[in-house]
């Protein structure tokens, strides 16, 4: 039986070996890099004696965090993680609306709603009513991968399953969708703030 299953076992082992290992936990210190649309930007942390709560913004190709001087490392990590998540969601709304304007005419499909949410195992979902929910972490991936997730979920408005017709439709919009899907399978682990 083992000999019979050997090709399948070897294939699965190879696929597993390809997957990128999750990075070490973020420390939220100056010089640390954070991904946005496939590029990495450094964080600069400033401690401020008069500040009551932390702030985060993006300016001139870097993330700038201002934190109260008396904040513990654990508080800093928790608060800055929340601020980064909020930043990704705010930026993501604008970017996704921009990308949807590209795909609406091509696909002739429009969601009833689009929003970001926390999803542990999925990059996106499409409800029966045509609402699309995206995992906010997808915004760390390259734009081509974000586009794949958008097209994938939009296609579910027309085809609620993963039938051959569904995949033909996705291919008609993104002929290289398999490459983008594979990137996500291999690199999805690194799209994290933890």
Q: What is the pLDDT of residues 14-37, one digit of tens each?
A: 555 555 566 788 999 999 999 999
CATH of domain 22-190: 3.30.2010.10
94-98-99 Cα angle (round to 5): 120
Strand, helix or coil for residue 87: helix
CB of 28 within 8 A of CB of 76? Answer: yes
**The pLDDT of residue 11:** 55
Q: pTM, whole model, 2 decimals? A: 0.86
Mean pLDDT over all residues of the chain?
91
CB of 71 within 8 A of CB of 53? Answer: no
Instruction: Tell me how far apart the alpha carbons of residues 19 and 21 are, in angstroms, rounded to a whole number.
Output: 6
From first to last of its 194 residues, what are the pLDDT tens digits of the chain? 666 665 655 555 555 555 556 678 899 999 999 999 999 999 999 999 999 999 999 999 999 999 999 999 999 999 999 999 999 999 999 999 999 999 999 999 999 999 999 888 899 999 999 999 999 999 999 999 999 999 999 999 999 999 999 999 999 999 999 999 999 998 998 899 98
Which residues are CB-neighbours of 180 under 8 A, at least 6 positions away?
Answer: 144, 145, 147, 148, 174
CA distances from 40 to 21, 33, 85, 190 (A): 18, 6, 16, 12
The residue assigned the tokens 């946005």 is 36
Which residue ranges make up each domain of the chain?
22-190
Instruction: Tell me how far apart the alpha carbons of residues 155 and 165 are, in angstroms, rounded to a whole number.
Output: 10
């Amino acid at each position: 039986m083992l000999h019979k299953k050997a090709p399948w076992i070897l294939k699965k082992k190879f696929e597993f070996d390809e997957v990128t290992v999750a990075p070490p936990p973020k420390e939220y210190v100056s010089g640390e890099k954070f991904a946005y649309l496939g590029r990495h930007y450094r964080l600069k942390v400033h401690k401020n004696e008069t500040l009551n709560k932390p702030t985060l913004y993006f300016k001139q190709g870097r993330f700038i965090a201002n934190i109260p001087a008396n904040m513990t490392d654990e508080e800093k990590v928790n608060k800055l993680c929340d601020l980064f998540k909020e930043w990704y969601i705010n930026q993501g709304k604008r970017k996704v609306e921009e990308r949807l304007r590209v795909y609406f005419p091509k696909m002739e499909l429009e969601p009833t709603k689009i929003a970001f949410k926390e999803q542990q195992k999925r990059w996106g979902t499409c409800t029966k009513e045509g609402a699309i929910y995206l995992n906010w972490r997808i915004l760390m991936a390259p734009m081509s991968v974000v586009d794949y997730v958008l097209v994938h979920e939009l296609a579910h408005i027309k085809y609620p399953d993963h039938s051959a017709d569904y995949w033909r439709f996705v291919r008609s919009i993104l002929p290289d969708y398999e490459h983008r899907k594979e990137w996500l399978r291999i690199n999805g682990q690194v799209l994290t703030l933890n």
